[in-house]
Amino acid sequence: MAAPRKPAEAGDLTPELLGTPQWTDQMVAAAGIPMYDVPFLTVGGGIGSFVTLDYLRIYGVPTGQMKVVSNIDHPWQTYEFLTRCSQIPRPERIRSDSSSRPDNIWGFPSYGLEEAWKEKNPIYLWQLLTEPILNDYWTPRAGTVFANLEREAKRIRYWDMLVKGQVRMVRKRAGGGYFTVVTPPEGAAPTKRIVFRSRFVHLAIGYPGLKFLPDLQEFRTKYSDYQHVVNAYEPHEQVYEFLKTRPGTVVIRGGGIVASRVLQRLFDDREKYGLKTQIIHIFRTFITGSHGPHIWARRKGGDGWAYQGFNYPKSVWGGQLKAQMRKLEGAERAAKYKEMGGTNTPKRRRWQEQMRAGRAGGYYHAVQGTVDRVEPTPDGRLVSYVRSSDGIIREPVADYIIDCTGLEADIAEHRVFADLLQYGGAYRNPVGRLEVERHFEVKGTASGDGALYASGSATLGGYFPGVDTFLGLQIAAQEIADDLAGRGFVRKMGPLRSTSQWFKWVFNSPV
Amino acid sequence: MVPTLIGRIQTRLFLLATVGVVMTLLIMPIVPGTDAPLGDLYVTGLLVLAAVGILGIGWELIYHLLMQFRWEKDWPTSFGLLTLVPEGLLLYFLLRSGAIGFIDPIPSSTFWTHFTVVWVSMWLVANGPMRVPFIRWRFRGGRVL
Ligand SMILES: Cc1cc2nc3c(=O)[nH]c(=O)nc-3n(C[C@H](O)[C@H](O)[C@H](O)COP(=O)(O)OP(=O)(O)OC[C@H]3O[C@@H](n4cnc5c(N)ncnc54)[C@H](O)[C@@H]3O)c2cc1C
């Protein structure tokens, strides 16, 4: 029996609003949704929103002119959750380099100088000087990143701008600008929704969602077992705890940095607690050495992995590849992405040692293969049916499977993007994500004198490839801030203001 | 900063004209190995900077070519420091042989003190402080303009 149709309560979205791409002020008022004005609004409240607000505050925008709508309390919350799950607790080191500092738009002094100074450790300086030739890249501790973000958030008065809530959609406004519909937390507002009316909106909502490998997803739903087949981005301490109680076997899937981290944890625990853990590592693409089309485009690799310091070649954040990509369109751009893409991990000396020891000791087995399906064994373990390209079929049995492929879901799985694609005029780029301009305005969404921007992983495939990184988010923020300056929202920052603001950062005085 | 070709050249010329000139003015009164009048030393020092700039365009072309063999198309920090050796040696021998006629002969200790101080200062500035006034510089491959 169908539920009786409830009339929309006052203060909620009406069918008329839902079906109309462009709203008028009267339509919103008629629905009884309270409306607030703010010239600039950023949605998400993660690292992307934070660095954008940081830039604009430093350029000179007062807190009263900007709001951030988010479902988290502090900007590093989601990042900290994901890094902790994927085995980077606060004392461990993250992937990005010393001068990728989301709390400092200048990237100077770098994290390396700061840690060297605070810990009185000149070895860090030697590592910075010799990276990546004689040493691994120096990278900061996760804890250093969080502590500094907190300091900067206080300095720019981040929490004065924060509005807690879930953004449902952004729609164009007749006459220019946008309406952002927010569902505030239970009891925080008298109505179910509130609306912000703004000239500029920025979307930085991070990953649209996690996606599992299809065979693992099938297993999880079919046997409703969410304990033994896990994604590395969800909490999975039970795996490591189980292995401490008795010898076990773990299957790892994927060849990226998360697989490296999980391996390190397994090897570390093996050493620390004298465990007997067996590890079977399945690579879909097994890389055996240097690879690439010609001598000028060859990446190092071996033992299954493709090796690269960061998630893209270093010059995408400012050098030659950044300059090249900026000029490419359509198929050419997609081809360039393909050429430098592919899963990869840094070649860290410690990881290499651990894997060497594992191979020699017969407890780490790396194989190429695709998995057809996963089934439970009668004794409650998991068997994977793995087919290699050479035709060999393997059927490894394991206690746990850790999916480290980190596949990102399609952008349309996020409601805000789905709505934007359907009603906002946005469309997809050559790699299927949101097409943005060089200054990160979402193409097709202009509304009068307003502009809608986006940054982060949803914009991968654009004129700038390194989007889903601290430095990439800062590059986007700078482009956005300069574009806003061009539109008269703030004055473009020149060398003098930049220098004086830098001193304020150094002395931790308000912007 | 990961450079592009045009960015390399611009950064070099810019730093020579700023950091290079300032360091030359500061160091010349105390360089060893010479008793030439300060005015002459300044002229010589500034001409050396000019030579580093002009020869440098050629060097940057070579570095850019070498960089193409690197997958990341990057230029590690240490390379920027170590290139002091070939560049210094070439310039020194050119001066010695009289191939650069408009610069008077310089005693070797004078040359190397001046050259090294200028080079290391430029390298230090390029690896951090440069980003303070010029926030767009590092994202543009070292272009100043
Ligand atoms: C494990 C891991 C390690 C990484 N390591 C590095 C690294 O070392 N260096 C580096 O440079 N980059 C790294 N990254 C990549 C990237 O820099 C971070 O993921 C960064 O947090 C991305 O910032 P963001 O703002 O795009 O997303 P997030 O920081 O995730 O913020 C987006 C926020 O938007 C919120 N949100 C979503 N939808 C809505 C809505 N409808 N309404 C309100 N709020 C909403 C989400 O809750 C989320 O908190 C890493 C990523 C991962 C997953």
Each residue's pLDDT tens digit, B78-102 = 999 999 999 999 999 999 988 887 8
For residues B92 and B103, the answer to whether their CB atoms sit within 8 Å is: no
What is the reported pTM? Answer: 0.95
**CA dist A346 to A206, A357, A502, Å?**
23, 18, 32
Q: What is the pLDDT of residue A1?
A: 42
For ligand 1, what atom is nearest to the CA of residue A139?
8
At A149-183, the pLDDT tens digits run 999 999 999 999 999 999 999 999 999 999 999 99
For ligand 1, what atom is nearest to the CA of residue A406?
53
For all residues of chain B together, what is the average pLDDT?
A: 95
Instruction: Work out the average pLDDT over A222-239.
Output: 94
B3 touches chain A (CB under 8 A): yes
Is the pLDDT reported for residue A206 higher than 70?
Answer: yes
CA distance A123 to A120: 9
CA distance A346 to A308: 5
The answer to which of A29-38, A131-140, A209-218, A462-471 has the lowest mean pLDDT is A209-218
Is the Cβ pair B140, A309 closer than 8 Å? no
Instruction: Work out the average pLDDT over B94-117.
Output: 90
pLDDT band at A8 (very low <50, low <70, confident <90, very high): low
Is the Cβ pair B132, A498 closer than 8 Å? yes
CA distance A457 to A473: 9
A233 touches chain B (CB under 8 A): no
Tokens 């992937």: give the residue: A95
For all residues of chain A together, what is the average pLDDT?
A: 95
Backbone angles phi, psi at A437, to 5 degrees: -75, 175
CA distance A272 to B131: 44
Is the Cβ pair B129, A129 closer than 8 Å? no
Q: What is the pLDDT of residue A293?
A: 86
Helix (H) or strand (E) holding A44: strand A40-44
Helix (H) or strand (E) holding A197: strand A194-198
Instruction: Work out the average pLDDT over A287-311.
Output: 93
Is the pLDDT reported for residue A409 higher than 90?
Answer: no
Sorted by where each starts, the structural domains of chain A and their CATH numbers stand as 15-76+152-208+410-496 (3.50.50.60), 210-288+344-408 (3.50.50.60)
Which are the contacts of A219, defined by CB distance < 8 A and separation ≥ 6? A225, A229, A373, A374, A375, A382
Smallest CA–CA distance, residue B133 to chain A, in Å, is 4
**CA dist A476 to A18, A124, A202, A479, Å?**
31, 29, 11, 5
Is the pLDDT reported for residue A5 higher than 60?
Answer: no
Which are the contacts of A373, defined by CB distance < 8 A and separation ≥ 6? A215, A218, A219, A384, A385
- Ligand 1, CB cutoff 6 Å, lining residues: A 43-49, 69-72, 78-79, 82-83, 86, 94-96, 100, 166-167, 204-206, 416, 456-457, 468-470, 473
Is the pLDDT reported for residue A416 higher than 90?
Answer: yes
Selecting from A299, A323, A475 the residue whose C-beta is nearest the C-beta of B4 gives: A323
Helix (H) or strand (E) holding A10: none
A478 touches chain B (CB under 8 A): yes
* Percent over 70 (pLDDT), chain A: 98
At A362-401, the pLDDT tens digits run 999 999 999 999 999 999 999 999 999 989 999 999 999 9
Domain limits, chain B: 5-140
Chain B residues with CB under 8 Å of A317 CB are 2, 139
Instruction: Work out the average pLDDT over B56-78.
Output: 97
Instruction: Work out the average pLDDT over A257-267.
Output: 97
Q: Whose CA is nearest to atom 35 of ligand 1?
A: A44
Smallest CA–CA distance, residue A364 to chain B, in Å, is 29
Does ipTM come in above 0.90?
Answer: yes
CA of A214 from ligand 1 middle (Å) equals 24
